[in-house]
A and B are shown apart, each in its own frame.
Chain A
Amino acid sequence: MNLRNRLEKQRNILDFSLQNLIRRKGKSLFILVIFVLLVSIISSILFLTGSLTREMIKSSEQLPDITIQKIKGGRQVNIESVYLDQIERIPGIEAAEPRAWGYFYLDSLNANFTIFGFDLSLLEAEDYETILTENTKQKNLTGKSQYKMAVGPVVYEQLKKSKMQETYLFFNPDWETSLPVDIIGVFKPETELQSADLMLLQTDAARKVLELSDDEFTDIAVYIPNPEEVDNIALKIRRAFPELRTITRSQIQSTYSSVFGWKSGLVLSGLLVVILAFLVLIWDRSGGLSQEEKREIGVLKAIGWDTEMVLAVKFLESLILSSISAVLGILVAYVYIYWLRAPGLREVFIGWSTIYPSFKLVPYIDLKYLMLIVSIAIVPYSAVSIVPAWRAAITDPDEIIRHNG
């Protein structure tokens, strides 16, 4: 047989398999629907994890090279300013910045806000435009209170509810007076993953809200121009001050990835049981051949088809069905994750406070994701479908025709 004939034969087998699938609509559709559902769940998890990890790695590039915390009694405590000079003197360090940040719990809204101290006067006019939507009402209201802050969009919505969208009064029962802070802007929605629950306060105001004493900071951020030196400098700091803890950016990044990987792995492992159940179902459905199918195979064999060709047809049927389902399932997942923004699944992966960011996910799909979906969904299904296909293919023509007349 030359190549052309062989190709022609393959094409005919493919053609015949497709016709078979269409002819048995009910059965095909049943498997199709379950398979699409399964593939779309698996791919949703993959897409979401992939995009989130990418997003996190990208945004963590803005993080300091090393974060230094003071540990006392196994817990993080505020760090004294005396460390600052000595750390700055270590060669290789470009800058060491003390930071003041923490959380502010608001009972009435049942929400936890992140407070971050920042010198707002450092923001240039163009910075304003790129990251903030201006609080227009506030434009002409300068100097109402001593302090200013910028807040995340979700915080802003919450404050609006309590009619404090212009000036917010920080208050704690054990304070003598409240602390009014003007809201000068709201972060743009693009930054939501980081800014949803953020209040960016002027450093002095933040220190007051967080009740830090004058010579204390929350931690120190260290910037190092040469990435090769980061680990060495971190080691140097730990040797000189055993009471300090250093966290490098790469440590944070690998923690992020492993948290997302772990969450998706966990969800997926749970799904393995579903996949197994699905396989058993398929085995059951395709194992029992209908009378009509039996007669069809009998006729095929009687007119001279050999076992291998019938086997090929049967195997192709399940391969076609699973491939179509995989494509449809991936499309469904794409729409669910990137257009509908993954309602239901999102909460598993992000956020820990009551405020969930409703950020936009950037599609990130690579060949390897598609291969992984194939490995989880199509490979086991095809393996399982071989045995029923074989069982159908070895049936003897005379037996079938004799029994069904």
Chain B
Amino acid sequence: MILNTWIVGLMVGQVTILATFTFCVLNALLIFLNWNYDSSDEKQYQLEKRTYLVSALMKFALVTHLFLFSLTALALDEISELLPGAMCAVGVLSANEYGFPYVYLKIVAVFLFSTWLIINYIDSKQENYPLVSLKYLLLIIIFPTIVFETVLFFKFTLNLDPQVITSCCGSIFNEKNIGVGGLISALPNRIALPALFAVAILSGFLAFSDVGARRGRRTLRTLEALTWIVFFILSLMVVISFISIYIYEMPTHRCPFCFLQSEYNFIGFPLYGLLFLAAISGFNRGILEWFKLNDSLAGVISTTQNNLGRIAVFSVLGFLLVGFTPFLVYYLKTGRLI
């Protein structure tokens, strides 16, 4: 293990999130077990007050989670100086078998958090809290994600061994390499790029199409949510295999973390920020269809879906703009491709 400032900092953040979340879940359990909207006794009144606490804590947890995610990416780069062979965050993450699962789980957690907060938002718009039981059950269900994430974080940091030589992003995202990294970059750009645009157009098409029956619409929207997940994954692939090489202007440098650093004007922050915003709004727009339990809910949800749709479209455009500008600049300057 390395006792290091950055790791201590990340630990403080991670433990804070876990503590906040645990506190939330305890409250959620209390509310879930005792909730009775029709009752007018003191207990129910106190429970209603508690819902404010849970939603405030959860908002805080999501913001902290996102903040910590960006800090992790930056801190790993700093830690890479301690590990022989590691030249950036990718090298540190591959230093043991817990690194990448930890990051993947963090991404999954962002999606789950956002879904919960949107449901919470819709629920709080309604007078009679129609989604309360469901939403607190959901909170209890997603709790293990954050526990598991914390476990992986500690496993990852405690097993960082400065003696073991790791590889750098140049060798991990090498086409000859077998494994996830190799797979991502083996996908040639002439397939990945059209696929990305095809999926974007497909999800746009799904968003505009509508069917009469309620069940049919559910299937349609679920499909839409899935296309957004595919879009997200394809985008990450394109970031690694196409966008990154134009940011670094180097054919061998394919790192999804380095461009978050100040050397590249923090271009990674708007890039990933917009990508997450797009995928999360699009995904939740589809998922929300399942929560149209009554007419009044259906009304609020439809409005929210429209807003989310708008956010998704603008974020995708923004993402493409930020991502493809380095390519355009390079192409216009040199008249060549890499």
Does the CB pair A379–B53 fall under 8 Å?
Answer: no
State the Cβ distance, A388 to closest chain B Cβ, in Å: 11
Does the CB pair A372–B262 fall under 8 Å?
Answer: no
B250 at the interface (CB under 8 A from A): no
Number of interface residues of A (CB under 8 A): 42
Q: How far is the CA of A366 from the CA of B75 in the complex (A)?
A: 11
- B251 proximity list for chain A (CB < 8 A): none
A311 at the interface (CB under 8 A from B): yes
- B82 proximity list for chain A (CB < 8 A): 254, 257-258, 261
Does the CB pair A368–B75 fall under 8 Å?
Answer: yes
Does the CB pair A375–B5 fall under 8 Å?
Answer: no
Q: How far is the CA of A372 from the CA of B70 in the complex (A)?
A: 11
Whether A375 contacts B13 in the complex (CB less than 8 A), given A269-B3, A307-B49, A368-B78, comes out as: yes
Q: How far is the CA of A376 from the CA of B3 in the complex (A)?
A: 15
Whether A372 contacts B56 in the complex (CB less than 8 A), given A254-B82, A254-B83, A269-B3, comes out as: no
State the Cβ distance, B126 to closest chain A Cβ, in Å: 14
Which residues of A from 384 to 403 have beta carbons under 8 Å from B?
386-387, 389-390, 393-394
A286 at the interface (CB under 8 A from B): no
Does the CB pair A262–B74 fall under 8 Å?
Answer: no
State the Cβ distance, A374 to closest chain B Cβ, in Å: 7
Q: How far is the CA of A272 from the CA of B9 in the complex (A)?
A: 10
Whether A261 contacts B74 in the complex (CB less than 8 A), given A272-B8, A379-B13, A387-B53, comes out as: no
- B10 proximity list for chain A (CB < 8 A): 375
State the Cβ distance, A40 to closest chain B Cβ, in Å: 15
- A315 proximity list for chain B (CB < 8 A): 56
| Chain B interface size, under 10 / 10 to 19 / 20 to 34 / 35 or more | 35 or more
Main secondary structure of the interface of B (DSSP, over half): helix
Does the CB pair A45–B5 fall under 8 Å?
Answer: yes
- B68 proximity list for chain A (CB < 8 A): 375, 379
- B52 proximity list for chain A (CB < 8 A): 307-308, 311, 390, 393-394
- B6 proximity list for chain A (CB < 8 A): 261, 372
A13 at the interface (CB under 8 A from B): no
State the Cβ distance, B314 to closest chain A Cβ, in Å: 14
Q: How far is the CA of A374 from the CA of B70 in the complex (A)?
A: 12
Which residues of B from 58 to 108 have beta carbons under 8 Å from A?
60, 64, 67-68, 70-71, 74-75, 78, 81-84
Does the CB pair B8–A268 fall under 8 Å?
Answer: yes
What are 20 A-B contacts defined by CB distance under 8 Å? A53-B81, A57-B81, A251-B84, A254-B82, A254-B84, A257-B82, A258-B162, A261-B2, A262-B2, A264-B4, A265-B4, A268-B5, A368-B71, A371-B67, A371-B70, A372-B6, A380-B16, A383-B19, A383-B60, A386-B20
Known: A382-B60, A393-B52. 8 other contacts (CB 8 A): A53-B81, A250-B84, A253-B81, A257-B81, A265-B2, A311-B56, A375-B12, A389-B56
Q: Chain A: residues with CB nearer than 8 A to chain B?
A: 45-46, 49, 53, 57, 250-251, 253-254, 257-258, 261-262, 264-266, 268-269, 272, 275, 307-308, 311, 315, 366-368, 371-372, 374-376, 379-380, 382-383, 386-387, 389-390, 393-394
